[in-house]
Every structure is written in structure tokens, then in C-alpha cells.
């Protein structure tokens, strides 16, 4: 019996990455995420042209050998702007995911593992906050603090974090009642050590899946908020700002809005599918059927 345990564990452990890369969803997600990361990293050391160099006579060049994606209204090379804009996307996706993770895990833990008089009000609070649209949180923050990427982080972080708390809370409760947590307590682990040692690692897969979706929401939110003027400041190059800047010209140069829009759509699609792939790879229990409770509990219709 004893020698079987490690094998059972490795059977559970190793394949998740392989399963992820083997599923079309997961593979697409990983490739897209890698491309965006590489583009952002590449833009730090090299871009085809200076992304902020204004060249008014050279504006609206069509895509060609010189400028693969053409130039914009002030003659900037679209490909270079797009590459630099990927940095904001990466920062926003990661930043929002971190805030969402903190908010989500904290609220879920408070709502699951504390004394009853704390736990139940927190659970009610989570139910209430879920109804708060992320964009409205962002607009409130922007009204108070002015526009910045931080507004996007915090708004998406809170908005999605609450969602995550709602999904994670029952899981934490379930894990907390399992034998190994009880054993940890019996062995003398303090409540905090027991949570970090035994509870959190067991809910990690759910959190990671959620974070992938949070990153997708964040990228969409950046586009919407920067368009409205609450996200990236006008001096920062971002995909959302590109859309806002080019909007006035869609009557004359419709092709130009194609690139930032496609970049956002493919990134969001990639992150969504990465989340789906991770979910299927890490949680066979959820992957079994295409159940509506799963859809309703995991990916809420959050949109911007």
C-alpha cells in the first residue's frame, strides 16, 4: 500500500501540463500568451521604428514592405506601436490578476474559515459585491483619483476578485473539512500555518484557472477604460488607446483599427482558452461533463 502512494501522486501530478498542451484550447492559450509576452519583451530592446516618432507626411501609409502594418494618423509605424502597446497589456493582465488573487483568496478565506459571526456576513457581502459592475468601480475610482493603469488593476482586481471569492469559498470549506487538514490540526499546526500548508495548495488549481480569466477580463477592461479615458494616460502607448486615437478616422482609413482590435481579441481569446484548458487539465471532476453549474460557477459573463 505504502509504495503505491507516490505513484498515484505522480500520475496526478505530471500530466496536467501535458494535458494542457495536448488540448487545442490549452495549446492556443499558451502560444498566444507566449507571443504577447515575447512582443512586450522584444519592444524593450527593439522595435522596427521609433514608436513615438511623429512623421506627419508619412501618415496613413498602407501596409507594405517598409511598414508591415502601415502607419497611423501621425505617421507612427503601427507594428512598433503595437509591440510597445503589448507592455501595457502584460502589465495590466498580471497586475489585475495579482490584485484579484489577493482580494479573492482573502475574502474567500474570511468567508470560509472564520468564526460564524464573521463568516456569514462576509458571505453575504460577497453575494452583494458580485453584482457591482467592474466598469462602475473603475469609473468611481477614476472620479476620485484620476485616470491611471492603477485604476484598471484595482477595479478589475476587486471586480473579479469578488467573483473568485464566490467560487473559491465553498471549495475552501470543503478542503478545510478534509482529513489532512484535520490531521494537520491534530499534529499541532496553528490555524494560519494549516491554511498556508494544506488549504491554499489544494485550492491553487481553481485560483490559477480563475486568474487566467481575470487576466482576459483585464485586457478587455483596459481597452474599454482607455477608450473612455480612464485607463492608460494619453502619453502611454496601449492597444485601447490606439483604438481611441484611431476612432475618428474609421470613415477614411478603416483598416487601421483592425490591428489593435485583432491584437486585443486574440489575446483575450487566448487567455480565456488558457483558463478553459487549465481547468480541464487540473480538475478532472469539472472536466467530465459540459455542465451549466460549472459554467455558471467558473466563468461569469463579465464584459467590458
Q: Identify residues 247-276 at the interface with another protein (CB under 8 A).
A: 247, 250-251, 254, 257, 260-261, 264-266, 268-269, 272-273
Binding of residue 57 to another protein (CB under 8 A) = no
Cα torsion angle, 82, 91, 155, 106, sign: positive
Sorted by sequence, the CB contacts under 8 Å of residue 134 that are 6+ apart come out as 155, 156, 158, 159, 160, 217, 221, 302, 304
Backbone angles phi, psi at 285, to 5 degrees: -65, -40
Between CA 263 and CA 250 the distance in angstroms is: 17
Contact present, 58 and 72 (Cβ < 8 Å): no
Backbone angles phi, psi at 276, to 5 degrees: -60, -45
CB of 79 or CB of 246, closer to another protein:
246
Instruction: Find the shortest distance in angstroms from Cβ 112 to another protein.
Output: 19
Binding of residue 293 to another protein (CB under 8 A) = yes
Binding of residue 40 to another protein (CB under 8 A) = no
Strands (E), the chain: none
CB of 83 or CB of 129, closer to another protein:
129
How far is residue 248 from each of residues 72, 142, 222, measured CA to CA in Å? 12, 24, 19
| 3-state secondary structure at position 71 | strand
Q: Identify residues 95-114 at the interface with another protein (CB under 8 A).
A: none
Q: Of 52-60, 82-90, 189-197, 243-251, which part binds another protein (CB under 8 A)?
A: 243-251
Binding of residue 229 to another protein (CB under 8 A) = yes
CB of 235 or CB of 293, closer to another protein:
293
Binding of residue 136 to another protein (CB under 8 A) = yes
Binding of residue 50 to another protein (CB under 8 A) = no
Between CA 222 and CA 43 the distance in angstroms is: 19
Q: Of 13-21, 54-62, 87-95, 244-252, which part binds another protein (CB under 8 A)?
A: 244-252
| Binding-site member from 78, 220, 237, 278 for another protein (CB under 8 A) | 220
CB of 47 or CB of 212, closer to another protein:
212
Amino acid at each position: 500500500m505504502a509504495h503505491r502512494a507516490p505513484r498515484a501522486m505522480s500520475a496526478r501530478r505530471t500530466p496536467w501540463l501535458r494535458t494542457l498542451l495536448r488540448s487545442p484550447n490549452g495549446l492556443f492559450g499558451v502560444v498566444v500568451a507566449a507571443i504577447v509576452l515575447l512582443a512586450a519583451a522584444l519592444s524593450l530592446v527593439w522595435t522596427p521604428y521609433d514608436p513615438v516618432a511623429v512623421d506627419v507626411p508619412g501618415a496613413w501609409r498602407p501596409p507594405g514592405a517598409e511598414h508591415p502594418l502601415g502607419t497611423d494618423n501621425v505617421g507612427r509605424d503601427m507594428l512598433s506601436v503595437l509591440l510597445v502597446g503589448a507592455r501595457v497589456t502584460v502589465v495590466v493582465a498580471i497586475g489585475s490578476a495579482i490584485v484579484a488573487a489577493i482580494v479573492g483568496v482573502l475574502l474567500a478565506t474570511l468567508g470560509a474559515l472564520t468564526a460564524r459571526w464573521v463568516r456569514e456576513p462576509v458571505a453575504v457581502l460577497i453575494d452583494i459585491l458580485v453584482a457591482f459592475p467592474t466598469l462602475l468601480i473603475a469609473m468611481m475610482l477614476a472620479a476620485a483619483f484620476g485616470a491611471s493603469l492603477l485604476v484598471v488593476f484595482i477595479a478589475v482586481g476587486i471586480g473579479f476578485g469578488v467573483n473568485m471569492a464566490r467560487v473559491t469559498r465553498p471549495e475552501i470549506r470543503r478542503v478545510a473539512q478534509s482529513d489532512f487538514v484535520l490531521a494537520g490540526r491534530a499534529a499541532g499546526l496553528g490555524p494560519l500555518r494549516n491554511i498556508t500548508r494544506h488549504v491554499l495548495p489544494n485550492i491553487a488549481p481553481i485560483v490559477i484557472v480563475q486568474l487566467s480569466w481575470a487576466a482576459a477580463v483585464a485586457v478587455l477592461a483596459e481597452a474599454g477604460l482607455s477608450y473612455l479615458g480612464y485607463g492608460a494616460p494619453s502619453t502611454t502607448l496601449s492597444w485601447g488607446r490606439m483604438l481611441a486615437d484611431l476612432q475618428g478616422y474609421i470613415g477614411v482609413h478603416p483598416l487601421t483599427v483592425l490591428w489593435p482590435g485583432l491584437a486585443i481579441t486574440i489575446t483575450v481569446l487566448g487567455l480565456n482558452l488558457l483558463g478553459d484548458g487549465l481547468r480541464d487539465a487540473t480538475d478532472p471532476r469539472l472536466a467530465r461533463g459540459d455542465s451549466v453549474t460549472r459554467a455558471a460557477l467558473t466563468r461569469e459573463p463579465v464584459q467590458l
